Amino acid sequence: MENVVELIATCIERGKISKQSPYPPDMKDQDGVDEITAAALKKGSKPDHILEGCMLGMDRIGEKFSQNKVFVPELLMAAKAMTSAMNHLKPFLESGEVKHRGKFVIGTVSGDLHDIGKNLASMTIKGYGFDVIDLGVDVSAEKFVSAIQENGGCFVGLSALLTTTMTNMEKSVKMIKENFPETKVLIGGAPVTQAFSEKIGADFYAENPQSAAEYLKTQIAA
């Protein structure tokens, strides 16, 4: 079991999706997370062990990213590899055999059409076993509130890349807190700061996808 967890973690950390994938060059023609996950499940490995490998791999790449040892392209490849493993786990998640750790609603705020940061956060958090409800871009405050209503007990993430849409982020946080004061709201994006997060009443400022995932883990454990 430990070997399977380590193999999956390594493939995700390195961004090795499948045997056909040319990336990374030093793992060319080796099985990727797609083949390893499929084979492990076929041989009777527990889906929880696969998920453990996913989380371990995302931990490692996230730590490197926070230390500036890797950058967005490497993080994207790791997230794609993780998604490949999660596709195999989808039936087990849907059946309840593997329990979701929680629900996470995410979207880019109204007036903002940028989605790279949001997508990275979405894929990273999904790799930690969360059920991610991605509302897309240009999401109104009302749509966030509606999604929270439909997904009781969820966490919420708001992303913005434009300074001009930070007022819409503030409006969304305010409306969420007015309707669901207990809901934890995370915000992030290039122009966003810790000071702005405190000013608008958000619960957490996520400097990067990894910090968002780490915060969510502490909330689940609490």
**DSSP per-residue codes, 90-139:** HHHHHHTSS---EEEEEEEBTT----HHHHHHHHHHHTTTEEEEE--SSB
Confidence grade of residue 2 (pLDDT, cut at 50, 70, 90): low
Which of 21-25, 55-59, 94-98: highest mean pLDDT? Answer: 21-25
Residue 105 pLDDT > 70, yes or no?
A: yes
Task: Report residue 188: phi and psi, to 5°.
Answer: -165, 175
Q: What is the CATH number of the domain that holds 68?
A: 1.10.1240.10
Q: Rounded mean pLDDT of 57-63?
A: 89
Q: Rounded mean pLDDT of 63-73?
A: 88
Same domain, 32 and 19: yes
How far is the CA of 149 from the CAs of 93, 102, 138, 180, 218, in angstroms?
Answer: 22, 15, 19, 9, 23
Confidence grade of residue 222 (pLDDT, cut at 50, 70, 90): low
- What digits encode the pLDDT tens for the residues 161-193? 999 999 999 999 999 999 999 999 999 999 999
**Structure confidence at residue 1 (pLDDT):** 54
Confidence grade of residue 104 (pLDDT, cut at 50, 70, 90): very high
Structure tokens at 9: 């973690």
The domain boundary, picked from 99, 134, 166, lies at 99
Same domain, 36 and 105: no
Same domain, 51 and 160: no
Same domain, 85 and 129: no
- 88 with 53: CB under 8 angstroms? no
Average pLDDT, the chain: 93
Same domain, 108 and 217: yes
Same domain, 113 and 215: yes
Same domain, 132 and 215: yes
The amino acid present at 67, given as its one-letter code, is: Q
- 118 with 160: CB under 8 angstroms? no
Same domain, 38 and 79: yes
The domain boundary, picked from 45, 79, 99, lies at 99
Q: Percent of the chain having pLDDT more than 90? A: 73
CA dihedral (23, 70, 133, 116) in degrees, to 10, reads: -90
Distance between CA 124 and CA 82 in Å, rounded?
8
Give me the domain span that covers residue 173: 100-222
Grouping H, G, I as helix, E, B as strand and the rest as coil, residue 149 is helix
**Model-level pTM?**
0.82
Residue 208 pLDDT > 90, yes or no?
A: no
**Structure confidence at residue 66 (pLDDT):** 81
Same domain, 181 and 80: no
The domain boundary, picked from 81, 99, 117, lies at 99
- What digits encode the pLDDT tens for the residues 125-173? 988 889 999 999 999 999 999 999 999 999 999 999 999 999 999 999 9
